[in-house]
Structure formats: C-alpha cells, structure tokens
Amino acid sequence: MRLLAGLGNPGSNYAMNRHNVGFLAVDRLADRHGCSPWKKRGPSLISDGRIGFEKIILVKPQSFMNKSGLPIAEIARFHKIDANDIFVFHDELDLARGKLRVKTGGGHGGHNGLRDIHQHLPSPNYHRLRIGIGHPGHAKQVSDYVLKAPGKDDAIAIDQAIDVALDALPLFISGDFARATQIINGHKP
C-alpha cells in the first residue's frame, strides 16, 4: 500500500493558488485512476483506489500547509505505511515554473509543509514530487506569490508538469524508480 499526499491549504479561497499544486495533483490523480470520492477522516480528506495492482491512499491534509505532517503521519501509522512508501506532491519555489524533480530523503529545503512532515514521520526517507512554481525574485515577496494564482502561461506549464508526474507515477509505484526519475527529470516546460 502506498500513501500519496498532496500539500496545500484548505478552502475555496486558496484552491487555485501556487501553494496548492499538491492538492491539484492528487485531485487529478484521483480522477485519472477512478479513486473513491473524497471523505473526511480526522484532519484530512482521503480517497483510495489502485494503480495497477497496488492499493493507494490519497491524502489532502486540511490543517493548512505548515501543519501537514501530523495528518499524514496519523494516516501512515493507521495503515502501517513506511516512510519509503509515501509520496508527497508539493510546490517548489526553487524550480522554474513547470519544471519537475523527484527527491527521496534528505532535508526539507526550507519548505514549511515538508518541515512539518519531517517532524512527524519517523524517517525523512519519503519521496517528494517537486512541482516548480518559480520564484518571485525577492524573499519578501514569497508569501504573497505562493498565495496567488499563477498567470495563464505559468498555469499551463504547471498543469503539463502535473500530467508528466502522473504519467511517471505508475513506474514509481511498481518500483522502477530509475525510469520514473528519468521521465520526470527529462521534462522540459
């Protein structure tokens, strides 16, 4: 069983923000694989289904981005899912808009959602599907930037990146990390 978490902020006023690309990715994943309707479980929305023969649980923490760790950890503990079977979709300021990267383990890179996940999982060896949203240029602009919707060209590039990540996901799930990483890292926005 795999846990696939999207990071974002709950509520319609945040729905189209750059910070919510993780939610967008798992919503699209649920649609693509015919997963169950979203239902409330504790501080999260969850859905379940299959990718190939592997059972998956999708999670959208409803506790806001900076408090994503505990809801993800609680669901992982309940289902006895190891950190290395967790995939987290999230926005990445340090990547150009629409660029993708995959990372397993390591630090949180200053991302507050990942920082909280690090505090609540017993190991940082979970997988991150980093979706580039670009950087506004100055640190003081970051908060406003991530909490706004991307422009048309940026939105198209981000949507295309999500599709590429979801195309590669079955390879990750089946254990073919090398081929999946090649697809993701080879994507050019």
Bridge partners of 54, per DSSP, are: 51
Among 15, 184, 5, 163, CA closest to 95: 184
Give me the active site residues, please: 19
Look at the alpha carbons of 153, 131, 143, 149 in this order and tell me if their dihedral is positive or negative: positive
How far apart are alpha carbons 41 and 125 in whole angstroms? 25
How far apart are alpha carbons 23 and 100 in whole angstroms? 16
- The overall longest dimension of the chain from CA atoms, in Å, is 46
